[in-house]
Amino acid sequence: MNEETPISNNDISEVDKLKKERQEYLEGWQRARAELINYKKGEAERAETIMRFGNERLLRDVVTVMDSFDLSIASLEASGKDPVMLRGVLMTRTQLEHVLKEHGLESIKSIGKEFNPVEHEVLMEIESDKSPGTVIEEVERGWKLYDKVIRPARVKVAKGK
Amino acid sequence: MAKILGIDLGTTNSAMAIIEGGAPRIIENVEGNRTTPSIVALSKANERFVGTLGKRQSITNPKNTIFSVKRLIGRKFSDSVVQQDKKWLPYDIRQSESGGVDIKMGDRWYTPEEISAMVLAKLKADAEAKLGEKIEEAVITVPAYFDDSQRQATKNAGEIAGLKVRRILNEPTAAALAYGLDKSKNEKIVVYDFGGGTFDVSVLEVGDNTVEVKATGGDTHLGGDDFDKKINEYLATEYKKAEGMDVSRDPLALQRLKEAAERAKHELSTAFETEINIPYISSDASGPKHFLMKLSRSKLEELVRSEVDRSVMLTEKTIKEAGFKMNEIDEVILVGGQTRMPAIQDAVKKLFQKDPHRGINPDEVVAIGAAVQAGILQGDVKDVLLLDVTPLTLSIETLGGIATPMIPKNTTVPTAKSQVFSTASDNQPSVEIHVLQGERQMASDNKTLARFILDGIPPAPRGVPQVEVSFDIDANGILSVSAKDKASGKSQSVKIEASTSLSKEEIERLKNEAMQHADEDNKKRELIEARNQAENLVYVAEKSLKEAEGKISAELHQSVTGKVNDLKQVKDKDDVALIKNAIEGLSEELQKIGASLYNKDKGAEGEKTEEKKEN
């Protein structure tokens, strides 16, 4: 049998140093792995958001076209001159609404509801026998893309007495 | 490890960002927007709303909708600025016991710190919701001209919101940090910040690890909102001229006009003319009225000329106050949404005779810079591994002298990649592996790193042997290239130490060369690829003819042979189109052999299996 070589203090500190270093490297590696996995998850989420909200800007603009439809219908209804034309424009608007709905866009119901800044933006207060804070009139329709309000309904609200 | 939030606490809007994976990223609020109005309101139903929601009820609740509190924070009530602002702010303010400002919201008086804290608390809560972790610390930015009292008050606002404020950072310094300009030594930087409501200009000097503010200037009541107002007024006046109608009393018409004006302003940053089209804007006895008008970029510039000129004048003045000359300024940074306007960019460029930095979204650059500072304080995870990238593409030479990339440039190392190649001629006993570095398409234009030969490949028709070539770069940038013949198991390899150790200049030179020659190289490559394809097809065709001898009609044999000869004649010419034509001609003809054999003969399969066994 060989004589056992005594372990010097130097060796011990060297071992400690290496252990510490190994731990550091392992942790660094784990962190890097974790970061990659988390990044992938985040990326998947971002891709999902882009899928859902990628056309948000486009839809925001389309909504202003819908305003013009609403106004032209109101104008045709008021004049009562051209019922055939009115029917055509009404149908076109329904068609457009249908397309927008397919893409996750829906208008916000506001009239008769209590004013809620999550969905409404108040433009003025008017005298009314309704309880104060009730939405009396919708000046411009509001729109939601899935759960996100992309334009609040612009409304007139009952004034407190 | 808890993250530190970088916050741009603005007069009109605020934004926040965080360092994620080593890079700053803007965090959206819960409403899904990248900026949050700095507004706090107590609604008529006694509910508190912060941000967009506060804004939506502001028109009918002006007394209890608090905005622009940044104009008041940390100031004495007797301060002339406060006295000026008091005149137009719709909410009530009074002198506090300590001589500061108190703001009335609902039945209570609040300090500006408390109001700012409500904005900060919303940002904190939204960031926590988005990130799914607690935020306890923040870096908050303030204008460079803020004095100690204003800075302290901002810090207090953070603490009230439950944030430990690690640093109060100057906004222009944050912008410089976002562009990484803090590392450039002895540079003079001008930050031109044209926001929604305020215009700030700052002159910075970067020293050793310090950024010193040499001078500040601007106008606290000059901003993009003034531009919007001017456009609105112009449109309303034009409409009145044309239709004789005043739209300013109709809230719907006004709202639609405002939106259209804002859209027009944005469009004119990229287009020279835009159409403002608002059908049914109003109506009178004669029926509905429409608004249709063209607005040109030059008209818009004319409308806001005085504002732009004023900002330039203030910039010149500030630089003079800093004691610098125009030509001493090294860098110019544009901040604030209004700097997207080409007229402003041109005016700044003309003033300094240099292109301003504007790669980062100007609405977000300050928040990004705050996050960069947060990242420095956070001292990201100790980097055990500093990961390098390969500066240039590593490739091997393939048939016709083409450099076929194995590891593209800017790939983070360590990395490995392998690909199977084959032989170019029948019974080829060896392959030469020529390792190259550079961006050019042809092997001869790139730098040779190594060459070695793998021999002992068993005799086989061209294209049959499988030689696997592997590139492996370790963390120290040492490249190992090996080639292995899958049939014989024979392999050869080489180690190249200096694959990443090129000087910066050399790398730039090589990249530039590649860019200059890109077109010519592409053409050369296309020609060679066409020739390779031609040669391959000739080989296949001749082999097929031999195998099909006697099994196909003499007519077909002759026509294929004719096409083969056609291709042979053109394949070494320099006309790519000609070669491609001949290839097509032969391919079509060749398919007829297959079709003809398919109907007659099915015995060829046995032969093929045998061939495979040989490998």
Scored b (16 or more CB within 10 A) or e, B49-84 reads bbbbbbbbbbbbbeebbbbbbbbbbbbebeeeebee
Dihedral sign of CA atoms A88, A92, A93, A94 in order = positive
Shortest alpha-carbon distance between residue B33 and chain A (Å):
10
CB of B588 closer than 8 Å to CB of B581: no
Q: Is the pLDDT of residue A144 over 70?
A: yes
Q: Tokens in use for A101?
A: 């709905």
Q: B611: pLDDT confidence band, cut at 50, 70 and 90?
A: very low
DSSP B158-172: HHHTT-EEEEEEEHH
The residue behind tokens 């149908």 is A91
Q: What is the structure's pLDDT at B551?
A: 81
DSSP code at position A2: P
Q: What is the structure's pLDDT at B602?
A: 52
Q: What is the structure's pLDDT at A3?
A: 57
User: Which residues in chain A have their CB less than 8 angstroms from residue B259's CB?
Assistant: 64
Q: Which of B331-345, B383-397, B529-543 has the highest mean pLDDT?
A: B331-345
pTM: 0.69
Q: What is the structure's pLDDT at B614?
A: 37
C-alpha pair distances (Å), B149 with each of B75, B517, B566? 7, 60, 89
Helix (H, G, I), strand (E, B) or coil at B323: coil
Mean pLDDT of all residues belonging to chain A: 86
User: Which residues in chain B have their CB less than 8 angstroms from residue A118's CB?
Assistant: 53
Q: Of B53, B256, B263, which is closest to A118 when you measure between CB atoms?
A: B53
Mean pLDDT is lowest, of B462-466, B554-558, B597-601, for B597-601
Task: Report the 10 Å Cβ neighbour count for B92.
Answer: 13
DSSP A11-28: HHHHHHHHHHHHHHHHHH
Task: Report the 10 Å Cβ neighbour count for B430.
Answer: 14
User: Which residues in chain A have their CB less than 8 angstroms from residue B382's CB?
Assistant: 24, 28
DSSP A125-157: EE--SSPTTBEEEEEE-EEEETTEEEEPEEEEE
Q: Of A31, A121, A122, which is closest to B381 when you measure between CB atoms?
A: A31
Q: Tokens in use for A89?
A: 């424009």
The whole-angstrom separation of Cα B191 and Cα B315 is 9
Q: B199: pLDDT confidence band, cut at 50, 70 and 90?
A: very high
Instruction: Please indicate whether residue B287 or residue B380 has the higher confidence score (pLDDT).
Output: B287
Shortest alpha-carbon distance between residue B587 and chain A (Å):
43
Beta strands at A120-126 and B415-421: parallel, antiparallel or unpaired: unpaired
Mean pLDDT is lowest, of A9-23, B39-53, B315-329, B386-400, for B386-400
Shortest alpha-carbon distance between residue B475 and chain A (Å):
13
Q: Which amino acid is at B229?
A: K
| Average pLDDT rounded to a whole number, residues B98-122 | 95
Instruction: Find the residue in A nearest to B382 (Cα).
Output: A28
Per residue in B135-172, pLDDT (tens digit) is 999 999 999 999 989 999 999 999 999 999 999 999 99
Q: What is the structure's pLDDT at B191?
A: 96
Shortest alpha-carbon distance between residue B251 and chain A (Å):
7
Q: What is the structure's pLDDT at A5?
A: 67
Rounded to a whole number of angstroms, the CA Rg of chain A reads: 32
CATH superfamily of B225-302: ATPase, substrate binding domain, subdomain 4 (3.90.640.10)
Q: Which fold has domain B3-179?
A: Nucleotidyltransferase; domain 5 (3.30.420)
Q: Is B1 in the A-facing interface, judged by CB distances under 8 Å? A: no
Query: Active-site residue numbers of B?
Result: 8, 70, 171, 193
Mean pLDDT is lowest, of A68-77, B45-54, B472-481, for B472-481
User: Which residues in chain B have their CB less than 8 angstroms from residue A139's CB?
Assistant: 251-252, 255
CB of A122 closer than 8 Å to CB of A115: yes
Under an 8 A CB cutoff, do B59 and A123 touch?
yes
Q: Of B32, B49, B382, which is closest to A148 when you measure between CB atoms?
A: B32
Residues 41-80 (B) with a CB less than 8 A from some CB of A: 43-45, 49, 52-57, 59-61
Q: Is B381 in the A-facing interface, judged by CB distances under 8 Å? A: yes
Under an 8 A CB cutoff, do B44 and A133 touch?
yes
Instruction: Please indicate whether residue B59 or residue B466 has the higher confidence score (pLDDT).
Output: B466
Instruction: Find the residue in B nearest to A53 (Cα).
Output: B32
CB of A155 closer than 8 Å to CB of A123: yes
The kind and range of the H/E element at B611 are helix B604-614
The residue behind tokens 């016709």 is B400
Q: Of A35, A71, A157, which is closest to B280 when you measure between CB atoms?
A: A71
Shortest alpha-carbon distance between residue B280 and chain A (Å):
6
Q: Does domain B519-614 have CATH number 1.10.10.10?
A: no
Q: Of A31, A154, A160, which is closest to B44 when you measure between CB atoms?
A: A160
Partners of B139 in the β-ladder: B6, B167
Mean pLDDT of all residues belonging to chain B: 87
Q: Is the pLDDT of residue B607 over 60?
A: no
Instruction: Please indicate whether residue B311 or residue B595 has the higher confidence score (pLDDT).
Output: B311
Q: Tokens in use for B243?
A: 């239709």
- Which class is B394-516 in CATH? mainly beta
Q: What is the structure's pLDDT at B383?
A: 46
Q: Which fold has domain A54-158?
A: Nucleotide Exchange Factor Grpe; Chain A, domain 2 (2.30.22)
Q: Is the pLDDT of residue B257 over 90?
A: no
The whole-angstrom separation of Cα B100 and Cα B78 is 8
User: Which residues in chain A have their CB less than 8 angstroms from residue B279's CB?
Assistant: 68, 71-72
Under an 8 A CB cutoff, do B44 and A132 touch?
yes
DSSP B199-226: EEEEEEEE-SS-EEEEEEEEETT-SHHH
Q: Of A79, A120, A123, which is closest to B287 when you measure between CB atoms?
A: A79
Domain ranges of chain A: 9-53, 54-158
Q: Tokens in use for B450?
A: 């190594």
Q: Tokens in use for B63?
A: 């007394």
Under an 8 A CB cutoff, do A124 and B32 touch?
no
* Tally of CA atoms within 13 A in the half-sphere of B128 that contains its CB: 14
Q: What is the structure's pLDDT at A161?
A: 60
Q: Tokens in use for B318?
A: 């500030």
Mean pLDDT is lowest, of B165-174, B238-247, B345-354, for B238-247
Looking at chain B, the whole-number percentage of residues with pLDDT higher than 70 is: 94
Q: Which amino acid is at B449?
A: L
CB of A121 closer than 8 Å to CB of B258: no
Helix (H, G, I), strand (E, B) or coil at B380: coil
Domain ranges of chain B: 3-179, 225-302, 394-516, 519-614
Instruction: End-to-end CA distance of chain B: give it in Å, rounded.
Output: 57
Q: Of A28, A123, A139, which is closest to B385 when you measure between CB atoms?
A: A28
Name the CA dihedral angle for B177, B178, B183, B185, rounded to a multiple of 10 degrees: -70
In 3D space, the residue among B298, B332, B328, B337 whose CA is nearest the CA of residue B312 turns out to be B332
Under an 8 A CB cutoff, do A75 and B287 touch?
yes
Under an 8 A CB cutoff, do B57 and A122 touch?
yes
Task: Report the 10 Å Cβ neighbour count for B614.
Answer: 11
Mean pLDDT is lowest, of A99-108, B12-21, B104-113, B597-606, for B597-606
A36: CB partners within 8 A, 6+ apart: none
Under an 8 A CB cutoff, do A75 and B288 touch?
yes
| Average pLDDT rounded to a whole number, residues B250-262 | 83
Per residue in B476-515, pLDDT (tens digit) is 778 899 999 988 889 988 888 765 556 677 777 777 887 8
CB of B86 closer than 8 Å to CB of B112: no
Per residue in A60-74, pLDDT (tens digit) is 889 989 988 988 898
Shortest alpha-carbon distance between residue A29 and chain B (Å):
9
Shortest alpha-carbon distance between residue B288 and chain A (Å):
7
Name the CA dihedral angle for A77, A79, A80, A82, rounded to a multiple of 10 degrees: -100
Instruction: Find the residue in B nearest to A79 (Cα).
Output: B287
Q: Which amino acid is at A74?
A: A
Q: Is B132 in the A-facing interface, judged by CB distances under 8 Å? A: no
Instruction: Find the residue in B nearest to A22 (Cα).
Output: B384
DSSP code at position B12: S
Under an 8 A CB cutoff, do B60 and A125 touch?
yes
* Tally of CA atoms within 13 A in the half-sphere of B566 that contains its CB: 17
Residues 219-278 (B) with a CB less than 8 A from some CB of A: 251-252, 255-256, 259, 263, 278
Q: Is B285 in the A-facing interface, judged by CB distances under 8 Å? A: no
ipTM given for this complex: 0.71
Instruction: Please indicate whether residue A37 or residue B209 has the higher confidence score (pLDDT).
Output: A37
- Residue contacts between A and B (CB atoms, under 8 Å): 78
Looking at chain B, the whole-number percentage of residues with pLDDT higher than 90 is: 46
Q: Is the pLDDT of residue B520 over 70?
A: yes
Under an 8 A CB cutoff, do A35 and B21 touch?
yes
Q: Of B21, B31, B382, which is closest to A39 when you measure between CB atoms?
A: B21
Mean pLDDT is lowest, of A99-103, B134-138, B423-427, for B423-427
Instruction: End-to-end CA distance of chain A: give it in Å, rounded.
Output: 106
C-alpha pair distances (Å), B206 with each of A101, B184, B186, B190? 54, 7, 5, 11
Name the CA dihedral angle for B143, B149, B155, B157, rounded to a multiple of 10 degrees: -100
Under an 8 A CB cutoff, do B57 and A124 touch?
no
Q: Is A152 in the B-facing interface, judged by CB distances under 8 Å? A: yes
Q: What is the structure's pLDDT at B615?
A: 36
Shortest alpha-carbon distance between residue B278 and chain A (Å):
7
The whole-angstrom separation of Cα B187 and Cα B169 is 19
The whole-angstrom separation of Cα B189 and Cα B175 is 10
Under an 8 A CB cutoff, do A121 and B56 touch?
yes
